[in-house]
């Protein structure tokens, strides 16, 4: 079974509420694994990697669903106006731009301090 088909089938069988609850649970487990790992003065551990894999699978399921859900419909052309995933990508692009700006400002400040 292809990954996208697997994700859609999981969503169909268990439902969106359950899949979102699992995502929340997996994110909490990732947080816990990171905290436990840092407690031992280590950055990475097998537990962290395992939880990252679980969270990524859950997020990919959400991504698959959002890519299939239109934001609206153009009745004249009988086509979707866009998809909910487009909103995520637009927000992500803005956040990446802001990160780039913050990094540039931080670097400039470091140069001034020298």
DSSP-assigned letter for residue 77: T
Q: Phi first, then psi: what are they for 58, rounded to 5°?
A: -65, -45
Q: pLDDT band for 112, please (50, 70, 90 cuts).
A: confident
Each domain of the chain, given as residue ranges in start order, spans: 1-68, 71-114
Given pLDDT bands bounded at 50, 70 and 90, which one contains residue 113? confident
pLDDT, tens only, 15-53? 999 999 999 999 999 999 999 999 999 999 999 999 999
Q: How far apart are CA 33 and CA 43, in angstroms?
A: 11
Is residue 74's pLDDT more than 90?
no
């Amino acid at each position: 079974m292809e990954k996208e088909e697997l994700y859609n089938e999981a969503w169909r069988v268990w439902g969106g509420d359950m899949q979102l609850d699992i995502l929340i649970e997996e994110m909490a487990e990732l947080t816990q694994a990171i905290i436990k790992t840092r407690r031992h003065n280590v950055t990475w551990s097998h537990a962290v990697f395992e939880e990252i894999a679980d969270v990524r699978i859950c997020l990919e399921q959400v991504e698959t669903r959002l890519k299939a859900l239109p934001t609206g419909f153009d009745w004249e052309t009988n086509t979707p106006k866009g998809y909910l995933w487009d909103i995520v990508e637009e927000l992500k692009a803005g956040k990446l731009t802001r990160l780039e700006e913050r990094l540039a400002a931080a670097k400039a400040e470091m140069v001034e301090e020298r």
